[in-house]
Amino acid sequence: MARRFDGKSALVTGASLPDGIGAACARQLAAEGARVTVAARDADGLEAVVKEIREAGGDAGARATDLRTPEACEALIAETVLAQEGLDILVNNAGMNARGPVCEVEARDLAAVIQLNLVAPVMLTRLALPHLRSRLGAVVQVASIAGQIPLDGEAAYSASKVGLRFFTFALREELEGTGVRISVVSPGPVDTSFILQDPDHVPDLVFAQPMSSPAEVAEGILACLVDGRRELSIPRRTSLLARLGSAFPSLRHAIAPSMERRGAARKAAHLARRGR
Ligand SMILES: NC(=O)c1ccc[n+]([C@@H]2O[C@H](COP(=O)([O-])OP(=O)(O)OC[C@H]3O[C@@H](n4cnc5c(N)ncnc54)[C@H](OP(=O)(O)O)[C@@H]3O)[C@@H](O)[C@H]2O)c1
């Protein structure tokens, strides 16, 4: 079978957790021929992902870094380009949340969400672009359904993801005719440890939507890298509801209580399955 990414140089951020979207994406890219650098803070976690990819016959390397500073973003792109002799693919996947009502969350935590989820991908995209332009490369930004509908209890997260979507849509216009593809992937809830951190503060509404697997999201990311579509929402139905709720806040308020009841039941079942 032809491999879609043979000989390509790829960078995936936020790929240190074996059950995360970034690791699933790195595995799939490597299985299809890409040489992949995985980046995040946890060096041991990254090495475990790299080891698994190499044992499966793939080519991968790790860069341990905290992407909340401009210097770290600059160093990551420079080191990846050097190690892999160029860059064809950037997947901006690293992300964090600081859940809870705004006045109950530390101000510095709100700022960190914007720094990691919005400023870092903006910087990494800008720094990667000269390399991607010369090789007709591709970028995927991992946003969220929270960037399609404002989620109370996740205000900074929603702001970071809608910001990332609009940065990308604007940049797409600028890049028209250059051959560089740039897309947004906006998942609903995904079965990773991300959604289980601080579960008491995950809005019940989030669990009202069908849960995707990290592998399904990774498949969507790879599809976007190939066809360069503007945005892929996973699952599509979730996005339709989110956009309707965002455009018509009164509709959202009318249907939210029943969705929250359904979400609360699904959340309890999910936490029980995960032993939480
Ligand atoms: N799970 C969901 O329900 C869901 C839904 C929609 C969108 N998303 C988005 O999908 C992306 C991946 O999420 P996931 O579910 O796979 O979460 P995850 O398993 O918690 O992965 C997050 C990754 O980001 C890395 N990271 C966190 N802080 C970092 C920092 N300061 N510098 C560099 N890397 C950092 C983490 O590694 P270290 O801790 O080692 O740094 C980890 O590898 C995120 O952007 C998230 O917003 C997730």
Tokens of 231: 């945005």
Instruction: Assess if residue 254 is contained within a domain.
Output: yes
Q: Ligand 1 center to residue 169 CA distance, Å?
A: 22
Q: Ligand 1 center to residue 92 CA distance, Å?
A: 10
Instruction: Assess if residue 3 is contained within a domain.
Output: no
How many domains does the chain fold into?
1
Instruction: Assess if residue 145 is contained within a domain.
Output: yes
Instruction: Assess if residue 142 is contained within a domain.
Output: yes
Determine if ligand 1 sits within 6 Å of the CB of residue 121: no
Determine if ligand 1 sits within 6 Å of the CB of residue 93: yes
In which domain, by residue range, is 14 found? 9-273
Are the beta carbons of 36 and 49 closer than 8 angstroms? no
Instruction: Assess if residue 1 is contained within a domain.
Output: no
| Distance from C-alpha of 194 to C-alpha of 197, rounded to nearest angstrom | 6
Are the beta carbons of 114 and 156 closer than 8 angstroms? yes
Determine if ligand 1 sits within 6 Å of the CB of residue 96: yes
Instruction: Assess if residue 4 is contained within a domain.
Output: no
Specify the DSSP element, H or E, that contains 205: helix 204-207
Determine if ligand 1 sits within 6 Å of the CB of residue 165: no
- Which residue among the candidates 5, 37, 129, 157 is catalytic per the annotation? 157
3-state secondary structure at position 168: helix
CATH code, domain with 30 = 3.40.50.720
pTM: 0.96
Instruction: Assess if residue 49 is contained within a domain.
Output: yes
pLDDT per residue as tens, the chain (276 positions)? 679 999 999 999 999 999 999 999 999 999 999 999 999 999 999 999 999 999 999 999 999 999 999 999 999 999 999 999 999 999 999 999 999 999 999 999 999 999 999 999 999 999 999 999 998 999 999 999 999 999 889 999 999 999 999 999 999 999 999 999 999 999 999 999 998 887 778 888 888 888 999 999 999 999 999 999 999 999 887 777 788 888 888 888 888 888 888 888 888 888 888 887
Specify the DSSP element, H or E, that contains 70: helix 70-84
Active site residue 62: no
